[in-house]
Structure 1
Amino acid sequence: MGEQHQMVVRNDGFVWVEIPHPSRDTMAELGRSFPFHELNLDDCLSKIQIPKIDRYPDHVFIILHFPVVEHGSVVRSGQLAVFMGAGYLATVHQDELKPVSDIFPACAAGDPKQRQELMGRPAGYLFHSPVDALVDDMLEMVKKVRGNISDIEETVFDERLSAAKEVSYLRRQTMALRRMAIDLSATLQEFGTRDIQRFSGDEDLVPYFDDVKDHLERAVRALEEARETVEIFKDTDFMHGVDRSNKILAVLTIIFTLSMPATILSSFYGMNTDLPSVQGIPFGTLAVVVAASLSAAACMFGYFRRLKWI
């Protein structure tokens, strides 16, 4: 690999290869350096792979999904592909996964003691370090979602206001985070059950991955609660919207109903026909029509009030 691009860092025979924006050329070069299956190399170039673990005699191939924030607030899935074997770790990702991008330079150009702390231990420990940091980032996003839910609660339950846009945004965030947290928890549970011993050396890495799984379980529980709350908010905002629409329609209907007497009377006397009782009186017909219309409207208004429609 091209070390001039700081793509590879070595420590006491251990190799970490980091490919932040893979291309076919870089993946082909990786395939020439390590015995990786070509289908796994192709998977690294795709953004739509589902989380999985492929096992081989000398290594495992893992795909994990973590939340990535784009356009300042929209959460979507970012893929991290990992090849892990005895004495090496290769991480491939197309999106900017900050913890991975921070840890690799720290190993490549940082304090030798820090490099030894991360890379002088089994491959499973180095794999745990960025995964743990990425899960912590996910927890922070979950906390932010819960804070946003609390922020719009008063708006949602104020029948005069509409919060449809805010509720839709939170619903999308919650669904995306929940889906990733559940898939990530299942994949790491499978890794901890079947593969962790292969890459632990003489160390017991189970407590480290148990801590990650505990964080994920907390995230899933928080997201389940957030999903239920957002659904309540959605139903509440919908009911308030329906109620506001009904009130508007009721007012418009009442206005139309009260104007019906005037419409009917004016249609009878709209051809300049004088009423017999007011012949010779200026504007007599107009006065009779207006008076009759107002009387009919007043009677209808009183009747509606009695029925408590107004």
Structure 2
Amino acid sequence: MGTQTLTYGSVTWIDIIHPTPADVENLQERFPYIHPLNLEDVRSPMERPKIDVDDNYLFVVMHFPLFDKRLSLSRPREVDLIIGRGYVVTVHDGVLKPLTTLYELCEDDELQRQRLLGRGANHAFYTIIDQLVDYVLPILRKVDGNIRDIEEDIFTRDTREVIREISLVRRDVIALRRIIRQQVPIVEQLEQVEHPIIHEDLEEYFGDIADHLYKARDIVDENYEIITSLADTVDTLASHRINEVMRILTVISVIMLPLTLISSIYGMNVPLPGQPEFRQDPNSFWLIAVFMVLISLVMLWYFRKRNWL
């Protein structure tokens, strides 16, 4: 979409979506004092979160989660911000709704544009970051809901399905944890940085953003502990069910062992000692069958008495 520009009074917001080399060149021509390394970071599709302090501007790289419904996974999306005297530059890929929605509101409504840009570039810079950070909380609430659903169904649903859902949620929680934890030092630096562009009266505002990030970090850490405990629980349930199956199969095998022995002995094609004509007796089959049933019943009674069944 290229470069978009909003202006109110002496403050300008330059929004660049999917920056092209031409967009970066225009940015360099307009602000020649921006360091080439920072412009290189702008062109890069994925940079680690950081903050670079220059005499004329601040360059900030932050990541925010975007949920991928196809993979059931939150992926990091990068936002580059440059704040200087009288301007704010945002560079992103256009998929973070808080940022695109804020720009569209300011573009369509002069009152919204006044609220954002009328108090200076530094306040606009704070507002943009605050909107992006607040967007994290609904994502975490969705994760909370998924975890509650698993908690309610863990003892009633099919184990394989529960294991799959736990694995998906745990993967998402790990991704969110990695994204959120990396943003905390950036906001802490913004809260403490001493720069003429960032006024001292904004320290409390960035402190509020830091509190929101601390809250999000605590929530995702708690979710990680809960989902890990649920995984341990479902592993225990699966092991218990496997043990139950193995116990039944073992009992069946033990009961069949003497029956197999008896049938093998009487199935041999040699005379039995002392009973050479036993096989010719018309009642021999039923006598052996009754004897085998009695052995099975005695063994079942013994297993029940020992609480093995």
What range is the shorter-chain TM-score in?
0.7 to 0.9
Distance 1:295 1:48, change over 3 A: farther
Paired residues of 1:122 and 1:200 also in contact (CA < 8 A): no
Between stretches 98-107 and 19-28, larger displacement belongs to: 19-28
Question: How many residues in Structure 1 have an aligned counterpart in Structure 2?
Answer: 303
Alignment of 1:36-185 (within 5 A): 36-71=34-69, 73-94=72-93, 96-107=95-106, 109-158=107-156, 161=159, 163-185=162-184
Q: Measured at CA, do residues 59 and 6 of structure 1 come closer, stay the same or move farther in structure 2, by a change above 3 Å?
A: closer
CA distance in 2, matches of 1:303, 1:145: 51
Aligned residue in 1 for 2:236: 239
Q: Which of residues 192, 201, 205 in structure 1 aligns to 2:202?
A: 205
In the aligned structure 2, how far is the partner of 1:181 from the partner of 1:160? 33
- Structure 1 position 303 matched with structure 2 position 302: yes
Contact 2:80 2:92 survives alignment (8 Å):
yes
Between 259-268 and 57-66, the greater mean CA deviation after superposition:
259-268
1:258 to 233, 236, 255: 255
Tell me, in whole angstroms, the C-alpha distance in 2 between the residues paired with 1:134 and 1:71: 20
Question: Cα gap change, 1:6/1:53 in structure 2, threshold over 3 Å: closer, same or farther?
Answer: closer
Q: Deviations over 1:257-308 (max 9, x none)?
A: 2111222223333345565262432362x33443343233223222222221
- Match of 1:282, as an amino acid? P
In structure 1, how many angstroms separate the alpha carbons of the residues matched to 2:101 and 2:302?
74
CA distance in 2, matches of 1:262, 1:57: 91
Q: Which amino acid aligns with 1:7?
A: Q
Indicate whether 1:13 and 2:13 are aligned.
no
Structure 2 unaligned regions, length at least 5: none
The equivalent residue for 1:280 is 280
What is the aligned-residue identity percentage?
Answer: 33
Letter aligned with residue 39 of structure 1 = L
| 1:222 equivalent in structure 2 | 219
Whether contact under 8 Å (1:157, 1:236) holds in the other structure is: no
Deviations 1:198-224 (A, max 9, x none): 3245x7222322221221122222222
Taking structure 2 as the reference length, the TM-score comes to 0.88
Tell me how far apart the structure 1 counterparts of residues 100 and 170 of structure 2 sit (CA, whole Å): 30
Q: Deviations over 1:117-143 (max 9, x none)?
A: 211222221111221111111111112
Check whether the contact 2:3–2:17 (CA below 8 A) recurs between aligned residues. Answer: no
Deviations 1:57-109 (A, max 9, x none): 211111111111122642111111111111111111125111111112223x3
Unaligned runs of at least 5 residues, structure 1: none
Whether the aligned pair in 2 keeps the contact of 1:171 and 1:227 (CA below 8 Å) is yes
Residue equivalent to 1:191: 190
Cα offsets for 1:9-67 (capped at 9, x unmatched): 22223222111222334333323332323322232343442110012221111111111
Q: Calculate the TM-score normalised by the size of structure 1.
A: 0.87
